[in-house]
């Protein structure tokens, strides 16, 4: 059966990127690799909107999250975690495992982080080393105001660490301009690549913490990545086929331009929200992000919707995680998901809802999507 992947990662890999993974492999301690890696490094600065170095490592995004904890802190340090979902909570879980004291500026799943709460927590705890938060929380579809939080944290001694795994590329994000001190991301979202690569970038303020960090680490030791970076190398054997694909991904992003990609996602997000409402589904997120839209579904059919959609029509969307299992659905609109994919996805979703007994007039979702798309 033909498959439509409309999940917020992994996302469909465009054929021109996918085929790069099948190219003959070559050795990584060569001028050839160094040239490719330096080219990628330049492109990554553009993607992250930073003047600082961006390191690439073989790991899932969680590996980069751990790197951002293990390199910036020491046991007994105090941090603020501002979480609004499953992945934000992961910051706290990783940090506590390292003996870090975690102060919460978190909100209920579905809500957006309150910058004023972060400010209050910083004032009450002037000794915190860092604030860890999430740009777009994939588990709830919420966007956080990183620009506002960056403005607040930058006035203190603490550094701001942001998980931009799902939001980078798809939604406007400006590392330097927004005064974000450390950003991590991964390959299987906006980069339109297979999972397996993670990214991390630090500014000077964050590097000062690296020098003071006493947590033992080897594979995730960012100093090793920095040392090899200058020569166009990685400290450990890089995932060469993914790196070759990354070069094409970065080229495609540069060619299309970040602003255009941001606008595309914004339009699809708007159409998605309209379609959800047309289907009688309430949006779950207080501030919906541009790369995935979540909506509440009747609990008796929540799990069935996702399963039926996949099995009957080949359309994969995501359900809820943790306590939200069966209570929300998540529909992605990032990467190479286009207008036609949106219509295919929503018309099938409408059929599934009708089959599961929801009263909907046929064609409503399509009409809502068309309404938005025809206006542009």
For residue 19, the minimal CB distance to a copy of itself (Å) is 5
Which position has the token pair 């938005």? 372
Cα→Cα distances 348→69, 133, 187, Å: 42, 35, 28
Q: Choose which of 21, 145, 176, 208 interacts with a copy of itself (CB under 8 A).
A: 21
Residue 280 near a copy of itself by CB under 8 A: no
Q: Choose which of 44, 94, 169, 279 interacts with a copy of itself (CB under 8 A).
A: 94
Task: Report residue 5: phi and psi, to 5°.
Answer: -100, 105
Indicate the pairing of strand 159-163 with strand 142-143.
Answer: unpaired
Give the residue from 265, 87, 81 showing the smallest Cα distance to 163.
87
- Paired tokens of 189: 């979202």
Residue 182 near a copy of itself by CB under 8 A: no
For residue 227, the minimal CB distance to a copy of itself (Å) is 14
- Listed in sequence order, the residues at least 6 apart from 278 whose beta carbon sits closer than 8 Å to its beta carbon are 364, 365, 367, 368
Decide whether 179 or 310 has the Cβ nearer to a copy of itself: 310
For residue 246, the minimal CB distance to a copy of itself (Å) is 12
Q: Choose which of 194, 206, 253, 334 interacts with a copy of itself (CB under 8 A).
A: 194
Q: Is 3 annotated as a binding residue?
A: no
Q: Choose which of 3, 123, 155, 256 interacts with a copy of itself (CB under 8 A).
A: 3
Residue 50 near a copy of itself by CB under 8 A: no
Window of 40-48, 145-153, 176-184, 188-196 that interacts with a copy of itself by CB under 8 A: 188-196
Counted residue by residue, the chain has a size of 376
Residue 375 near a copy of itself by CB under 8 A: no
Decide whether 142 or 317 has the Cβ nearer to a copy of itself: 317
Window of 21-29, 120-128, 152-160, 261-269 that interacts with a copy of itself by CB under 8 A: 21-29
Window of 79-87, 213-221, 263-271, 349-357 that interacts with a copy of itself by CB under 8 A: 213-221
Residue 262 near a copy of itself by CB under 8 A: no
For residue 170, the minimal CB distance to a copy of itself (Å) is 17
For residue 120, the minimal CB distance to a copy of itself (Å) is 29
Residue 138 near a copy of itself by CB under 8 A: no
3-state SS, the chain, equals CCCEECCCCCCCCCHHHHHHHHCCCCCCCCHHHHHHHHHHHHHHHHHHCCCCCEEEEECCHHHHHHHHHHCCCCCCCEEEEECCCHHHHHHHHHHHHCCCEEEECCCCECECCCHHHHHHHHHHCCCCCEEEEECEECCCCEECCHHHHHHHHCCCCCEEEEECCCCCCCCCCCCCCCCCCEEEEECCCCCCCCCCEEEEEECHHHHHHHHHCCCCCCCCCHHHHHHHHCCCCCCCCCCHHHHHHHHHHHHHHHHHCHHHHHHHHHHHHHHHHHHHHHCCCCECCCCECCCEEEEECCCCCHHHHHHHHHHHHCEECEECCHHHCCCEEEEECCCCCCHHHHHHHHHHHHHHHHHCCCCCCCCHHHHHHHHHHHHC
Q: Choose which of 218, 259, 323, 375 interacts with a copy of itself (CB under 8 A).
A: 218
Residue 236 near a copy of itself by CB under 8 A: yes
> Which residues within the stretch 297-316 sit at the binding site for a copy of itself (CB under 8 A)?
310, 316
Window of 80-88, 166-174, 175-183, 218-226 that interacts with a copy of itself by CB under 8 A: 218-226
Q: Choose which of 59, 164, 292, 353 interacts with a copy of itself (CB under 8 A).
A: 59
For residue 187, the minimal CB distance to a copy of itself (Å) is 9
Q: Choose which of 88, 238, 302, 326 interacts with a copy of itself (CB under 8 A).
A: 238
- Paired tokens of 7: 């999940």
Task: Please give the distance of CA 173 from its chain centroid, rounded to a whole number.
Answer: 11
Binding residues for substrate: 330
Residues that bind a copy of itself (CB under 8 A): 3, 5, 7, 9-13, 15, 18-19, 21-28, 30, 58-63, 66, 93-94, 97-99, 186, 188, 194-196, 215-220, 236-242, 310, 316, 318
Binding residues: 330
């Amino acid at each position: 059966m033909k498959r439509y992947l409309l999940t917020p990662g992994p996302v469909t890999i465009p054929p021109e990127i996918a085929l790069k993974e099948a190219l003959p492999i070559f050795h990584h301690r060569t001028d050839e690799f160094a040239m490719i890696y330096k080219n990628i490094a330049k492109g990554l600065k553009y993607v992250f909107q930073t003047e600082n170095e961006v390191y690439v490592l073989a790991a899932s995004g969680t590996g980069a999250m751990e790197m951002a904890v293990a390199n910036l802190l020491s046991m007994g340090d105090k941090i603020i975690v501002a979480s609004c979902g499953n992945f934000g909570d992961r910051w706290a879980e990783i940090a506590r495992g390292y003996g870090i004291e975690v102060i919460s500026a978190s909100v209920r799943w579905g809500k957006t982080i309150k910058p004023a709460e972060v400010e209050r927590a910083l004032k009450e705890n002037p000794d915190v080393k860092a604030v860890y938060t999430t740009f777009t929380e994939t588990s709830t579809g919420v966007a956080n105001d990183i620009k506002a939080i960056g403005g607040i944290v930058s006035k203190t001694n603490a550094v701001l660490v942001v998980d931009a795994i799902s939001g980078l590329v798809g939604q406007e994000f400006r590392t330097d301009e927004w005064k974000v001190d450390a950003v991590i991301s991964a390959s299987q979202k906006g980069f339109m690549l297979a999972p397996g690569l993670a990214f991390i970038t630090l500014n000077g303020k964050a590097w000062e913490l690296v020098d003071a960090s006493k947590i033992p680490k080897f594979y995730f030791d960012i100093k090793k990545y920095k040392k090899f970076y200058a020569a166009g190398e990685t400290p450990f054997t890089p995932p060469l086929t993914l790196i070759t694909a990354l070069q094409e991904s970065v080229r495609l992003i540069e060619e299309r331009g970040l602003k255009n990609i941001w606008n595309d996602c914004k339009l699809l997000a708007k159409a998605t929200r309209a379609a959800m409402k047309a289907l009688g589904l309430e949006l779950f997120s207080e501030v919906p992000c541009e790369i995935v839209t979540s909506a509440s579904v009747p609990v008796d059919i929540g799990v069935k919707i996702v399963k039926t959609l996949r099995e009957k029509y080949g359309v994969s969307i995501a359900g809820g995680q943790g306590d939200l299992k069966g209570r929300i659905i998540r529909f992605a609109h990032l990467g190479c998901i286009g207008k036609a994919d949106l219509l295919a996805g929503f018309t099938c979703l409408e059929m599934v809802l009708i089959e599961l007994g929801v009263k909907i007039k046929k064609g409503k979702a399509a009409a809502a999507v068309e309404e938005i798309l025809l206006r542009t």
